[in-house]
Structure 1
């Protein structure tokens, strides 16, 4: 399942739980508003204010930290759980003891007994935070939705029973306690497969979560003051009755979109965290999220603004008509907060919480006096005016933060925000025209107006043009059963076919990385077919459950054979896949209606697809030498060549060899790329320089040669140089000790402390390793087709020392010569290459110890890497795939 589909599923389940929460909240307040007087509603508002404030401290931001951090052990999670529970217990005791003074401070001494009962919420909520974070981190929102729905319904039932029996404001407090207890118990039960609770607590195991959570907590406090300044001021200045009315209006105008927002933002936080290394992709997806939130929030708010009096009376009864004007004004506040809310999740996902805290402090320092001052000078109307002014300031701050953190331009953000008003405009026009009719006319009845508004809004959503509306429409329609969809879904334009032994789960090689990075940025409708895959951000990965089982058996057999024969497991898997025959047999039915099939690295697949009946366009993309796949005789290779319509090569070196040998005509070069990194200055080079080798641990890549170069540097030149080797022998993260790997480990063992070998690293971790190293040492022994690790090393600001073979010169040579700081040595024997490297390496390391020189090398490396940015490569790929003439 692609991350797009898993995100849609998660969003659907989250929507269910939040729809239940919305119904429960509105129903609860509608019931209580009819049973309680304004002063008692004010007491309920005070309880809600305290509950929201203390809830900030309960988790200390560690739930978000668990989601944001890539990994967390069961020991760490257990320590965090017991810390949360202890804090929850302390807070409960503190509120129990301080209920009376807190109630007096907030303007109603009668609230003390209710606060005493509500204090039990805190220990109940604390027990469920860690298991719920574990579920959300794994995007298991179905489990979260089920537990929260049951908890909300259970708490609502308690509130209703007690309210009807005359318990007054206490009914609301006991409902909160029941909801918290049910939610935590269910979360613990549902997370037991992924969260093993241990009776263990080590404060040091919570440190890395608290370091994130402390700033999150401080940010939450500042947000609380900014969001609830109006309620706090009304409770203190105007009394509980006015606070009760304000809370009901706020509930309709601000909490309504606040309940819609988390449907998207709660799911997108783990998704954005998973792609935080790619600023451009996060920015693009944030604009889409903003458009969706605008379309989900603005239409209902516009309806409330235009029909506030009727809607207030409908929900709360005729006695609350006096809050209608206030409710209309508050819809502006609700709209601005709905659009600006995702910024907080962006800052968390990008690990920019400190920056967000500073911005929030400055903004709150301006807006709180504005709101409170308005209340002091002009009463309730002045306070509402202060809220409107603070909302305008908040919108401007949101624009500025997005520009700084993601590089989002004002025009792009305003276009995304405009999606909601444009969608709601026809509905608003209809409602305004209905006002022309005389009072009492059938069309002026509220049920009729609501029905007409819904029909106009639905028609606009189905028929209106525009990319944002079209995307939202396709997501909604994709959730409907096929018989209810208005027309067929948009067909796939391109199908990517990976090799029968290729993994697309984050542990694959350069081919999988290339596909992931380009397809996720494509404007075309592309489906990826891989035998073993997992969700990937922005990629439509099609599941093949039958072949996945076949692949699993083949992989286990390959590992077993490799162990017994002392051979390469990758070679064994290629033999067991029988040239992809079974894989293509499984794929063929799903490819027949696709206009273009894009085959990666397996040109022979084209012939087999033609035999299976495919008549569309076949584009074959070579990441390795075509001569390694086809017979050297052009006549013998003719049937394979004729089956392909167009050829793409990852370097000019590969293209030239194929054209010279086979006389290919329709060819082009599409380089591998790199994610543009954030601009950070290089770390000072300490006493020990650390080089890195990255790549598959096979003879052609040159890992053993790198070890020998380091040995000679230390013995012949006395240089304090260390080497880190990152890679695996094949089959993704498999650690099978092939003969080559064993020989490599023996060589590493002769240099204890100087060379260390890391296990397989995922792509993001490898990029981090590059950023902390002095240089990439890559003495490859073959004609490297391109050398993705070379571009990635340059992108992290480190020079590259390698051999002038294959496509490597295309990366490191420019019109001005070799990239500043990097070294290209001439090809030769192992000893000749080592001698050439040793002639250059001491001077390079010495120059890198100069901070100014290292900064110059880093800047030159990044400039060259920018020429291979994925966004440009993805655009070029779209042009080639969309236009058969390339």
Structure 2
């Protein structure tokens, strides 16, 4: 199977899991926002933020190091496995015993209990990470997608069930632990079918991978700290309820593409790795996937930007109505952030993640200062606006500092690769925007259905009648992975 089709197969399986995860996540979000008080939801948000940060140290960039190496020995794998397990134990101890300090910082005694429950997952997660990386390297994403779906459904059932019974924030912590344990068990059991379990360690075997991994973990740490600076400042400057509202707004805006980032990164990194020494092919594929990714991400975010008022009015109580403006700002943030995925994949295969680390430090320092300045004057809205300003600067500078360091002479072609998907998303803004400005019904749910339906129809018609060859190619590849008959039908008009 040619690389392009294999990559599209990978995207298809990951997209299936991501799409289901998005639907389940939104339903779960809606349920918890009605069951738990805003302050309780804020505690959940802070606990997840803390655990997400420390989760970086378990993997330590080793998964991507495995994906990058097409040939790797069993001794190297077992040595890296041992490092992951050791890091899991160390991270568990660090998080468990630092939880009182974290709870004090966020002025929430209940947070200590939540974090301690979640920390036990650090002991289990390393046993499934390596097998997931091997499957991703070999582009066997069908199994990864199935495991992801099982994990999502487990989390949904446990968290909603416990929240209904006890109406306490710890329900989310228990669900996080249980679903994470299920995920680790699935990959660990699968690994036993392919190789013997071994923790045999050799530093010379592991050493070549560690330098590369250090770049990745440094970048991930700075990125996570940078992103979580904004909700952390909300908790300190505003309230836990504010961070709960931000988390909901984030979940129905930026998280739409954050969930899709692994879809593309996991598919693109192995694909890019196979052609890392051919700059001409790499440049062509980089531009292509920038366009393809944006053809998925831009309509989602533009659609959510337009539909956010109807969504908030339909699904959330009066105490959450303030998140509408946050969703709109975060959708704009998401549009710029979505362009990071191909760039990161490019840096990974060129082993130049250190450049992103340097940019990340600048972004972090700037973001903290700007968020504090705007947050003290304008509250939660000011903090979110600072996120947007920093992200715009990061995307623009990213081309000059990151892309040009890997590939030369892409200026106009790169701008075109971004503008074409943006043009394809404009019909959503125009058609759905008119319905939002002049709602035909007094019922938000009816208006929401019309906004979504009209937006989807406008986008599909735009794809069908698109004058751009790259869009027609995207339509062909996408429809081929759904149905050969659908491909024939769609491309008959496109030609």
Structure 2 residue aligned with 1:39: 39
Provide the secondary structure at the position in 2 that maps to 1:70: coil
Alignment check: 8 A CA contact 1:134 1:195 kept: no
Q: Compute the displacement of 1:478 (Å).
A: 0.5
2:468 to 466, 469, 475: 466
Matched, 1:76 2:71: no
Structure 1 residues 189, 68: CA separation in 2 closer, same or farther (over 3 Å shift)?
same
Residue number in structure 2 paired with 1:85 = 85
* Distance (Å, rounded) in 2 between the aligned partners of 1:160 and 1:288: 41
Whether the 8 Å contact between 1:442 and 1:448 is mirrored in structure 2 is no
- Deviation, structure 1 residue 11: 1.3
Matches of 1:3 and 1:241, distance apart in 2: 47
Aligned to 1:382: 382
Aligned residue for 2:441? 440
The secondary structure found in structure 1 opposite 2:441 is coil
Q: CA deviation at 1:141?
A: 0.8
**Within the alignment, does 1:278 sit opposite 2:278 as a pair?**
yes
User: Partners of 1:405 and 1:316 in 2: how far apart?
Assistant: 45
CA contact (8 A) 2:5 2:477 kept: no
**What is the deviation of 1:35?**
0.6
Equivalent-residue separation in structure 1 for 2:236 and 2:346 (angstroms): 34
Cα drift, residue 223 of structure 1: 0.8
Q: Distance in 1 between matches of 2:110 and 2:71?
A: 47
What residue in structure 2 maps to residue 427 of structure 1? 428
Q: Distance in 2 between matches of 1:439 and 1:152?
A: 37
Give, in whole Å, the separation in 1 of the partners of 2:49 and 2:132: 23
Please give the residue correspondences for 1:338-349 in structure 2 after superposition, counting only pairs within 5 Å: 338-349=338-349
Equivalent residue of 1:277, what SS? coil
* Partners of 2:136 and 2:76 in 1: CA distance: 17
Q: Give the whole-Å Cα distance in 2 for the aligned partners of 1:438 and 1:451.
A: 14
Report the equivalent of 2:324: 324
8 A contact 1:41–1:169 mirrored in 2: yes
Report the counterpart of residue 152 of structure 2 in structure 1: 152
Determine if contact 1:134/1:194 at 8 Å carries over to the other structure.
no
Q: 2: CA distance between counterparts of 1:441 and 1:38?
A: 27
2: distance between equivalents of 1:387 and 1:373? 12
Inter-partner Cα distance in structure 2 for 1:141 and 1:208: 27
Cα deviations by residue, 1:549-574 (Å, 9 ceiling, x for unpaired): xxxxxxxxxxxxxxxxxxxxxxxxxx
The answer as to 2:313 corresponding to 1:313 is yes
Superposed CA deviations along residues 784-828 of structure 1, whole A, max 9, x for unmatched, are xxxxxxxxxxxxxxxxxxxxxxxxxxxxxxxxxxxxxxxxxxxxx
Say whether 1:291 aligns with 2:295: no
Matches of 1:276 and 1:155, distance apart in 2: 38
Q: Where does residue 459 of structure 2 map in the other structure? A: 457
Shift of 1:368: 2.6
How far residue 54 of structure 1 moved from its aligned partner, in angstroms, is 0.4
- Which residue pairs with 2:417 in the alignment? 416
The answer on 1:364 being equivalent to 2:364 is yes
Matched-pair contact (CA < 8 Å) for 1:124–1:177 = no
Q: Summarize deviations over 1:470-496 as a string: whole Å, max 9, x none.
A: 121011111233344443868xxxxxx
* 1:204 Cα offset (Å): 3.1
Distance 2:464 2:315 in 1: 29
**TM-aligned CA distance change 1:8 to 1:235, over 3 Å:** same
The alpha carbon displacement at 1:323 in A equals 1.0
Q: Judging by fraction of residues, say which structure has more helix.
A: 2
Please list every run of at least 4 consecutive aligned residues from structure 1 whose deviation after the TM superposition is greater than 4 angstroms: 441-444
Q: Are 2:267 and 1:267 aligned? A: yes
Write out aligned runs for 1:706-745 (5 A). Answer: none
- In the other structure, the counterpart of 1:335 is 335
Distance, in Å, in 1 between the alignment partners of 2:52 and 2:165 is 27
Aligned partner of residue 338 in structure 2, secondary structure: helix
- Based on CA coordinates, which of the two structures has the bigger radius of gyration? 1
Inter-CA distance 396–482: structure 2 relative to 1 (3 Å threshold): closer
- Which of the numbers 477, 480, 483 marks the counterpart of 2:479? 477
Cα pair distance change 1:175/1:279, threshold 3 Å: same
The CA distance in 1 between the partners of 2:8 and 2:378, in whole Å, is: 47
In structure 2, relative to structure 1, the CA distance for the partners of 1:76 and 1:144 (3 Å cut) is same
In the TM superposition, residue 408 of structure 1 has moved relative to its aligned partner by 4.7
2:482 aligned counterpart, secondary structure:
coil
Q: Distance in 2 between matches of 1:438 and 1:25?
A: 28
- Alpha-carbon distance, 1:194 to partner: 4.2
| Partner secondary structure for residue 394 of structure 1 | helix
TM-score, normalised to structure 1, is 0.53
- Give me the whole-angstrom Cα distance separating, in 1, the residues matched to 2:480 and 2:232: 44
Matched with 1:173 is 173
CA distance in 2, matches of 1:109, 1:128: 32
1:62 is matched with: 62
Separation in 2, partners of 1:8, 1:436 = 38
TM-score w.r.t. length of structure 2: 0.94
Greater percentage in strand: 1
1:107–1:240 Cα contact (<8 Å) kept: no
- Residue in structure 2 matched with residue 134 of structure 1 by the alignment: 134
Matches within 5 A, 1:870-881: none
Mapping for residues 253-652 of structure 1, pairs under 5 Å? 253-400=253-400, 401-435=402-436, 437=438, 440=441, 445-487=447-489
Aligned mates of 1:408, 1:315 — CA distance in 2:
47
Instruction: Say whether the 8 Å CA contact 2:162–2:171 is kept in structure 1.
Output: yes
- Asked if the contact 1:297/1:338 (under 8 Å) is kept, the reply is yes
Q: Which has the higher contact order (CA 8 A, sep 6+)?
A: 2
Q: Is the 8 A contact 1:134 1:191 kept in 2?
A: no
Q: Distance in 2 between matches of 1:438 and 1:362?
A: 44
The Cα shift of 1:335 comes to 0.8
1:167 deviation in Å? 4.6
The corresponding residue for 1:222 is: 222
State the secondary structure of the residue aligned to 2:166. Answer: coil
**Cα-to-partner distance string for 1:598-628 (whole Å, 9 max, x where unaligned):** xxxxxxxxxxxxxxxxxxxxxxxxxxxxxxx
Seen in structure 2, the aligned counterparts of structure 1 residues 264 and 465 have a Cα distance that, compared at 3 Å, is same
Is the 2:22–2:259 contact (alpha carbons within 8 Å) kept by the matching residues of 1? yes
1:114 aligns with 2:114: yes
Give the deviation of 1:154 after TM superposition. Answer: 1.5
Q: What is the aligned-residue RMSD (CA, Å)? A: 2.0
Q: Deviations over 1:736-757 (max 9, x none)?
A: xxxxxxxxxxxxxxxxxxxxxx
Please, which moves more after superposition, 115-124 or 478-487? 478-487
Check conservation: 1:222, 1:360, Cα contact below 8 A: yes
List alignment gaps of at least 5 residues for structure 1.
Answer: 491-886
Q: Which sections of structure 2, spanning at least 5 residues, go unmatched?
A: none
What SS is found at the alignment partner of 1:440?
coil
Is contact 1:261-1:293 (8 Å) kept? no
| CA contact 1:30–1:316 (8 Å) conserved in 2 | yes
Aligned residue for 2:201, secondary structure, equals coil
| C-alpha distance in structure 2 between counterparts of 1:126 and 1:199, whole Å | 12
